Amino acid sequence: MKHIIILGDGMADHAVARLHGKTPLQFAKTPFMDMLARKGKTGRLVTIPDGFHPGSEVANTAILGYDLHEVYEGRGPLEAASIGYEMRPEDLALRCNLITLENDVIQTHNGGNITTDNGDTLIRHLNEKLGDDRVRFITGIQYRHLLIVKNGSKHIMCAPPHDHPNEPWQQLLVKPEPGWETRSEPGRISAQETAELLNRLIIRSRELLDNHPYNQRRTALGKRPANCVWPWGGGYRPSMKTLMEMFPTIKSGSVISAVDLIRGIGHYAGLEIIKVEGATGLADTNYEGKVEAAIDELKRKDFVFLHIEASDEAGHDGDLDLKLQTIEALDQRIVKPVFEEVKAWKEPVCIAVLPDHPTPVEIRTHVNEPVPFLIWYKGMAADAVRTFDESSCMDGSFGLLKLEQFMQTFMNV
């Protein structure tokens, strides 16, 4: 049996008064996810371990079957792996967002949805002006980039910018972890020194980017500039077993995503990273290209992890209409063609559909709450659930699974 996970990042939500008290997943038209829920089995999943921030890097790593207490090093190392930067033992790698600061608050975590080409222009400019033997800025995708600090300490407290919309940025500057202010690991500077270095980069980047021609043009047109960098999610190189080592039935696999951190998880998990032209991580992503790639990979491999980011970005933007569109697009342009392709294959294919965490549009940030999931393969005995949503799946026969139990259950179906 082959296996494919279709993950709608941030797709889960809360009840919304504008939707007559329904969640976006309940309100949206999702006939194919509902059909798979009726024909298969459902449940709910806890994706965030106690003590961890409800980030996509945490949730997706747990969904793939890893114990976060053993492997977690933050988003930075995952970004590094996804763009082909092989971390050295002395490296501290941090996710580095291009963000928008206006009126002394974080206006947006994504630099006005900056394109990769424009992001590259700004990151190269910063590396030319601020890079040295210790600091290096490396281009990633869109607003998501990489900052390497040689001999930096990971024992720092960074605020993920998507969790703090409309909050004063100066209150969110980097701090050392309590108890690590003056402590240091062998060969590394202290957490206090690391925090001070990163804060200098933040402040200096704002001066440089405010005056960059790209941002001056954006401001003149009344558009949001990408006028500051924001480092967070720092860590050292992680040590992870591959999925093939953890699950012997997986001989080969692929990850398909527009998001660096998901590609990075896939890299360390031993999956081949498949890049799709036109995959953006937004609502305008190349759905058809992703489906074609997923089906091609599933024909020749045992396992595919197909990740769609669009609902999460709509949630962070607080755009209810867009979030509904992204959920319906996932149903019609991802779930439907995958199901209709594999349902007639001689070798059975097991499909799972789920979010990684809720990103409620009225909160605009991730929350740590269980998410619904469904599992289906041809001929599977169904449970009593009729629709796929946060509430219905409470009655699913899988009950409430926790963390790596999902992958163990999925691979043992």
pLDDT string in tens for the chain (413-residue length):
999 999 999 999 999 999 999 999 999 999 999 999 999 999 999 999 999 989 898 999 999 999 999 999 988 998 898 888 989 999 999 999 999 999 999 999 999 999 999 999 999 999 999 999 999 999 998 999 999 999 999 999 999 998 899 999 999 999 999 999 888 899 999 999 999 999 999 999 999 999 999 999 999 999 999 999 999 999 998 888 999 999 999 999 999 999 888 998 999 999 999 999 999 998 999 999 999 999 999 999 999 999 999 999 999 999 999 999 999 999 999 999 999 999 999 999 999 999 999 999 999 999 999 999 999 999 999 999 999 999 999 999 999 999 999 999 999 98
Phi, psi dihedral angles at 251 (to 5 degrees): -95, -30
Pair 386, 34: CB distance under 8 Å: yes
pLDDT given at position 79 = 84
Phi, psi dihedral angles at 12 (to 5 degrees): -70, 160
pLDDT given at position 324 = 98
As a whole number of angstroms, the distance between CA 56 and CA 4 comes to 19
pLDDT given at position 141 = 85
As a whole number of angstroms, the distance between CA 340 and CA 302 comes to 18
Three-state SS for the chain is CEEEEEEECCEECCCEHHHCCECHHHHCCCHHHHHHHHHCEEEEEECCCCCCCCCHHHHHHHHCCCCHHHHCCCHHHHHHHHCCCCCCCCEEEEEEEEEEEECCEEEECCCCCCCHHHHHHHHHHHHHHHCCCCEEEEEEECCEEEEEEECCCCCEECCCHHHCCCCEHHHHCCEECCCCCCCCCCCCCCHHHHHHHHHHHHHHHHHHHHCCHHHHHHHHCCCCCCCEEEEEEEECCCCCCCHHHHCCCCCCEEEECCCHHHHHHHHHCCCEEECCCCCCCCCCCCHHHHHHHHHHHHHHCCEEEEEECHHHHHHHCCCHHHHHHHHHHHHHHHHHHHHHHHCCCCCCEEEEEECCCECCCCCCCCCCCCEEEEEECCCCCCCCCCCCCCCHHHHCCCCEEECCHHHHHHHHC
200-212, pLDDT tens digit by residue? 999 999 999 999 9
* CA 135 from centre of chain: 25
Distances from the Cα of 351 to the Cαs of 32, 283, 413, in angstroms? 12, 23, 10
pLDDT given at position 105 = 96
The dihedral region occupied by 326, where left means phi > 0, alpha psi between -120 and 50, and beta the remainder, is: alpha
pLDDT given at position 182 = 83
As a whole number of angstroms, the distance between CA 256 and CA 277 comes to 11
As a whole number of angstroms, the distance between CA 62 and CA 408 comes to 11
pLDDT given at position 81 = 87
Residues 6 or more apart in contact with residue 220 via CB below 8 angstroms: none
Neighbours of 279 (CB within 10 A): 23
Alpha-carbon dihedral sign for residues 291, 292, 293, 296: positive
Pair 3, 302: CB distance under 8 Å: yes
pLDDT given at position 39 = 97
As a whole number of angstroms, the distance between CA 301 and CA 239 comes to 24
pTM of the model: 0.80
User: What domains lie within the chain, and their CATH numbers?
Assistant: 2-71+239-411 (3.40.720.10), 78-236 (no CATH)
pLDDT given at position 413 = 82
